[in-house]
Every structure is written in structure tokens, then in C-alpha cells.
Chains A and B, each alone.
Chain A
Amino acid sequence: EAGVTQSPTHLIKTRGQQATLRCSPISGHTSVYWYQQALGLGLQFLLWYDEGEERNRGNFPPRFSGRQFPNYSSELNVNALELEDSALYLCASRLKGFQPQHFGDGTRLSIL
């Protein structure tokens, strides 16, 4: 079974630009979660999508947004990039209920 896949692996942007990160969940998983992991910090919850709807979002400004497509894949958009947005962005998927989250390898976003 293929795991969670994320693209691109690395992304380099400059301040003020926009970034789009993509995630394909494990087949059959309908929930997708996005996390930000800045260097030396833990996992900060960004967004949760399920069945195409945004179900919850973390304490991040509105320039962090995303969506989930009918095939349950998802994308994360970050507008007006700032230096502090440099981080590893992890996507995770899971089945419903008390199921573990399965993480992708992440996208390393660097803001110059």
C-alpha cells in the first residue's frame, strides 16, 4: 500500500510570494491533516479536512489556507510568505475515528 505522498520535497520562495504544497493520502483515508514543524519545535496543527470540508484549523493567520479535492488529496496554500514560515510542512491522513495518523515525508519550505 502506498503511503502518504507530498510534493514538492523542497520549495524555495522569497518573502511575499505564494506557495502551494500538495498531499495525497493513503487510499481509503478521507481525513487529511496539515502540520507545521519549525526547526527545533514540535508539530503545530494547521488544518484538518475530511470529506472535502475544512473541519478545524489551528492558530494560524488566514493566509494559511487549503482545500481537499473529491479524491481526498489536499493542498495547502500559504500567501504573502514571511521568513518565519520557513519550516517542514507535514501532511497526515487517517481513517475515521480513533485511528493513528500516517505522515508523509513533508515539504521543506524555505523563505529567502
Chain B
Amino acid sequence: GQQVMQIPQYQHVQEGEDFTTYCNSSTTLSNIQWYKQRPGGHPVFLIQLVKSGEVKKQKRLTFQFGEAKKNSSLHITATQTTDVGTYFCAGGGSEKLVFGKGTKLTVNP
């Protein structure tokens, strides 16, 4: 079945440093979604990418969808302590979403 791999599993950065998490699928995705889960919280939807090569920005966050629609990345510029949490990518279509295992980000102030 479809698998979504996400790396790294953990990332610790100093406040102000950049952070990137990568997501790779074993199959071509119709779309990819990104979620953030704060410690003790539930996953919250961040963004959805649908088009090949699509790039979207949300303030300091940049999301990319690969040309082959099999990989994606989330890049955070100049991390802040409010960025801590686990970032999940999820690939799929109009039915089931397959979630990656997430990247847990910790930020040292």
C-alpha cells in the first residue's frame, strides 16, 4: 500500500535557525497536506498543495510540492519558540489520507 516517509524524525534548533522537513511518497500523490501538532494538542491543518511544482508561503513557512508529485517539503525561516511541535505531511486523494510519522521540532531560546 501507499507509504509516506518523513525525515528527519526529530530536529532541534536554536531560535533563529532555519528548519526543513521532507516528505516522500512511494506513489504519486493527488495532493499533499501539512499539519502541525503542538505538544499536548491535536493536529491542525496548515496547507494543501495540489499542483506539480507548487510552492506556497505562509509568513515564515514555505511549502513545496515536487514536480513528480511524490515529495514535498516544509521550510521554516528563522524559527521561533512558537514553532515547536510535530509537523506531519499527509498524502492522498479524496478518500484516505496517509500520514507520515512526523518531524518533532524543538527550539532552544
B-contacting residues of A (Cβ < 8 Å)? 33, 35, 41-43, 45, 48, 55-56, 90, 92, 96-98, 100-106
Interface size class on chain B is: 20 to 34
The proximity string for B residues 92-109 relative to A, scoring 1 for CB distances below 8 Å and 0 otherwise, is 011111111110000000
A42-B88, A90-B42, A103-B44 given; A98·B99 CB < 8 A: no
- Contact of B43 with A45 in the complex, beta carbons under 8 Å: no
The proximity string for B residues 3-46 relative to A, scoring 1 for CB distances below 8 Å and 0 otherwise, is 00010000000000000000000000011010000000111110
- Contact of A45 with B98 in the complex, beta carbons under 8 Å: yes
CA–CA, A98 to B33, complex, Å? 10
CA–CA, A100 to B31, complex, Å? 11
Least CB distance, B4 to chain A, in whole angstroms: 9
Which chain A residues lie closer than 8 Å to B100 at the CB level? 42
A-contacting residues of B (Cβ < 8 Å)? 6, 30-31, 33, 41-45, 48, 50, 88, 90, 93-102
Task: Identify A43's interface contact among B30, B31, B88, B95, CB under 8 A.
Answer: B88
Which chain B residues lie closer than 8 Å to A45 at the CB level? 96-99
CA–CA, A23 to B31, complex, Å? 26
- Contact of B98 with A98 in the complex, beta carbons under 8 Å: no
Least CB distance, A9 to chain B, in whole angstroms: 12
**What are the 8 closest A-B residue pairs judged by CB atoms, nearest first?**
A42-B101, A100-B45, A103-B42, A43-B99, A103-B43, A97-B94, A42-B102, A56-B96
